Amino acid sequence: MIRVGIVGGTGYTGVELLRLLVLHPDVDVSVVTSRSDAGERVDGLYPSLRGLCDVVFSLPELDALAECDVVFFATPNGTAMLMAEQLLARNVKVIDLSADFRIQDVKEWSKWYGMEHACPDVIGLAVYGLPEANREAIKQANLIACPGCYPTAVQLGFFPLIENNLIDLSHLIADVKSGVSGAGRSAQVSALMSETGESFKAYAVNGHRHLPEITQGLMLVAKQQVGLTFVPHLTPMIRGIHATLYGRITGDANMVQALFEQRYRDELFVDVLPQGLHPDTRNVRGSNKCQIAVHQPQGSDTLVVLSVIDNLVKGAAGQAVQNMNLMEGLDEKAGLEAVALYP
């Protein structure tokens, strides 16, 4: 059994990791830390886990975490970078669900995240944990930077188009809609049900932190600069991301459906829908799947890709577990087989 620690177990990505890991056949969750709830039972805070988890929240202490094989950071940005180096030095594998190691350019990182990086030398060791792009590197990695939720949905949707030189890379558009759990489990007026229920809005149009992450990922594939307009929106539901992607055709789009199917044929968690269908976030709710469709409306020169995930699963905790499975040589889908909760 793989001994797992979770740092920051009281947020939504933390409890989602627990939801997946308490039933994972190869894992023993031995440490779950929380500064605010240390000493309390995990299932006291999360009654959904009653009967499945006997762990008590502890303070985040290096020695206890160093007993683990793998430590997940489900912490706010700026925390994992304070402990990752020490854990790696003690041969613990680290999977960071926050943004600390996602951006290879540390100046760019500091600009968007508003702080100095605590261990810039370690960034280069981090592997970006998107298995559909980096599977072999992930298998060898000791430090994983798990992708953000928006970047997961957007990159998986754009990859086949970029890899096949099908679209104008200078004017990509990603219009993306997220459920409110993406805002996290912290007390803030803007995330109250009275504020977010029955309403829809865009936010951060002038620049969201996931923009440089997406751009970095697309450029790696394109091997050239890309110009992306990324507009995130908040939609009145708890879980789910729907990315609507637009690209102007520059290549031969006749085979676009086949290219998508071929690109993801062997992927366990990316499912290309038959031509003409539209994915619906409910069909991936609670599952680690990404469902994708591609359309060319009215035969115009603009392609539209629809890509949906559950932001807490494929967009966070599920993808983190998928990375762990790869790093530990387990079945890639271990612990990740649950069917989406429809309705």
Subset of residues 21 to 60 that bind a copy of itself, contact rule: CB under 8 A: 22-23, 46-52
Cα gap 62→187, rounded to integer Å = 28
287 touches a copy of itself by CB under 8 A? yes
Verify whether residue 149 is a known catalytic residue: yes
240 touches a copy of itself by CB under 8 A? yes
We find the least distance from the C-beta atom of residue 63 to a copy of itself, in angstroms, to be 29
Cα gap 181→11, rounded to integer Å = 10
Cα gap 324→303, rounded to integer Å = 35
Catalytic residue among 53, 68, 119, 149: 149
337 touches a copy of itself by CB under 8 A? yes
SS3 80: helix
Q: Which amino acid type is present at position 76?
A: P
132 touches a copy of itself by CB under 8 A? no
Cα gap 320→269, rounded to integer Å = 13
233 touches a copy of itself by CB under 8 A? yes
Residue 69 DSSP label? S
List 12, 72, 101, 159, residue binding a copy of itself (CB under 8 A): 12
The strand pairing partners of 290, in sequence order, are 270
Subset of residues 171 to 190 that bind a copy of itself, contact rule: CB under 8 A: 171, 173, 175, 177, 179-181, 183, 185-189
- The 87-126 contact track toward a copy of itself, x by CB under 8 A, reads ----------------------------------------
82 touches a copy of itself by CB under 8 A? no
Instruction: Name the strands in the sheet holding 93-96, side by side, starting at the edge strand that comes first in the sequence.
Output: 27-33, 2-7, 70-73, 93-96, 143-145, 127-128
| Pick 78 or 236: Cβ nearer a copy of itself | 236
C-alpha distances in angstroms, 23 versus 34, 49, 269, 270, 321? 21, 11, 19, 22, 12
Subset of residues 198 to 227 that bind a copy of itself, contact rule: CB under 8 A: 198-203, 205-207, 211, 227
Cα gap 129→342, rounded to integer Å = 28
We find the least distance from the C-beta atom of residue 25 to a copy of itself, in angstroms, to be 11
Q: Which stretch binds a copy of itself (CB under 8 A): 90-98, 133-141, 249-257, 302-310?
A: 302-310
Residues belonging to the active site: 149
